[in-house]
DNA sequence: GTAATTTGACCATT
DNA sequence: AATGGTCAAATTAC
């Protein structure tokens, strides 16, 4: 049951991988109607399959993924979970905030229902929320420093959402980042209300996936970043197209009744895919052709983005 | 002056 | 002792 779903995800995923760059190229340069339609069809297939597969995984996580996500989060294996504010657990919050000094990972916290999930993206700062950087650390075995962020409104609302961004060592262009979120937002802060408004207008390609390019500079770290480890990340930010998307969490609320919302290239692939060469794509497809699909970073992005919560 | 970022130090965990 | 996550003073930008 779970295997079938995963297989379907894999199949559709492969189709998109192989054809997406071409579709993007032609549809953008020629506005070719049939090609655009094909792209939409493919993406619709992906939505359908992923929704099916992930819903199954949700019900039978062990069967579907060979034990992918324990509820208790361990540092080395962050849980993949939808970034929904609803996932924030106030109970977990209490334990972590008691600051009679400096506190953090307590055994109580680990035993609680603290939510955590990861996302792989080329645009780690564009997730629909405002973040304030509070630390940076060189992590063993990595070439890049890890940056730590907390919700900008933590002081005002007590929101305990945090995330850390780790640039991956792979020499991809654009660079890939692993973003690990801890705790959902409880601040109800959506500075992207304008984004929502925009999307409600002319297009319904909303959404999907705040992973890629919701751009309104929600993460305010680059404006004053004067170098150091953030330099590379600033480069990423500058690549953002002026397209606004709602926070990633929004996708989880979308109904999925067989007619998924249409979406543009930005959703699954991110604008960055346009940059991939055919060789890159071949490599990616090749790399993902194995059995370990669930650990393919790009599939992670898909899963994180589409998962029905 | 205010707010955000940087960065070394601190602390819990392993 | 090593490591990772957070704090907070200093620095920087607006």
All residue ranges of chain A with pLDDT < 70 are 1-114, 188-309
Report angle CA A47, A50, A51 to the nearest 5 degrees: 80
State the nucleotide closest to A147 in CA–C1' terms: C5
Name the residue closest to the C1' of C11 by its CA. A226
Parallel, antiparallel, or unpaired for β A145-151 and A162-167? antiparallel
pLDDT of residue A164: 92
Does nucleic acid strand B have an atom less than 7 angstroms from the CB of A227? yes
Q: Report the C-alpha dihedral over residues A155, A161, A162, A163, rounded to 10 degrees.
A: -150
Q: What residue spans define the domains of chain A?
A: 2-306
DSSP A150-182: EETTHHHH----EEEEEE-SS--SSPPEEEEEE
Q: Which chain A residues in 232-291 sit with Cβ < 7 A of strand B?
A: none
Q: Which residue, chain included where needed, has tokens 């970073």?
A: A297
CA distance A200 to A268: 20
pLDDT of residue A46: 56
State the nucleotide closest to A148 in CA–C1' terms: C5
State the nucleotide closest to A78 in CA–C1' terms: C4
Sheet of A145-151, strand order: A116-121, A177-182, A162-167, A145-151, A131-138
Percent pLDDT > 90 in chain A is 7
Parallel, antiparallel, or unpaired for β A116-121 and A162-167? unpaired
pLDDT of residue A6: 53
Does nucleic acid strand C have an atom less than 7 angstroms from the CB of A102? yes
pLDDT of residue A306: 40
pLDDT of residue A127: 76
DSSP A112: T
3-class SS of residue A201: coil
Any residues with CB less than 8 A from the CB of A294 and at least 6 apart, and which? A6, A65, A66, A68, A303
Does nucleic acid strand B have an atom less than 7 angstroms from the CB of A99? no
Does nucleic acid strand C have an atom less than 7 angstroms from the CB of A98? no
pLDDT of residue A174: 77
CA of A226, C1' of C12: distance in angstroms: 8
CA of A22, C1' of B14: distance in angstroms: 48
């Amino acid at each position: 049951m779970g295997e079938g779903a995963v297989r379907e995800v894999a199949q559709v995923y492969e189709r998109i991988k192989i054809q997406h760059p071409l579709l993007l190229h032609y549809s953008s340069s020629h506005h070719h109607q049939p090609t655009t339609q094909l792209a939409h069809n493919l993406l619709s297939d992906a939505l359908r399959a992923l929704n099916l597969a992930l819903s199954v995984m949700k019900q039978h996580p062990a069967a579907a993924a060979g034990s992918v996500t324990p509820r208790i989060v361990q540092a080395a294996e962050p849980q993949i979970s939808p970034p929904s504010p609803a996932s924030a657990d106030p109970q977990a919050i209490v334990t972590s905030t008691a600051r009679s000094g400096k506190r953090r990972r307590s055994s109580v916290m680990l035993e609680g229902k603290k939510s955590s999930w990861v996302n792989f993206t080329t645009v780690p700062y564009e997730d629909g929320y405002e973040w304030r950087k509070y630390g940076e650390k060189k992590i063993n075995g990595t070439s890049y420093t890890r940056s730590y962020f907390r919700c900008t409104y933590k002081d005002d609302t007590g929101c305990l959402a945090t995330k850390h961004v780790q640039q991956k060592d792979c020499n991809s262009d654009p660079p890939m980042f692993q973003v690990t979120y801890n705790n959902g937002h409880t601040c109800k802060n959506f500075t992207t209300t304008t984004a929502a408004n925009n999307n409600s207008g002319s297009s319904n390609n909303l959404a999907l996936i705040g992973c890629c390019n919701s751009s309104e500079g929600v993460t305010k770290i680059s404006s004053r970043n004067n170098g150091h480890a953030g330099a590379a990340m600033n480069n990423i930010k500058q690549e953002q197209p002026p397209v606004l998307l709602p926070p990633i969490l929004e996708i989880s609320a979308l109904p999925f009744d067989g007619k998924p919302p249409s979406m543009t290239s930005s959703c699954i692939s991110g604008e960055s895919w346009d940059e991939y060469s055919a060789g890159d794509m071949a490599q990616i497809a090749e790399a993902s052709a194995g059995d370990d699909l669930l650990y393919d970073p790009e599939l992670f992005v898909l899963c994180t983005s589409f998962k029905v919560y």
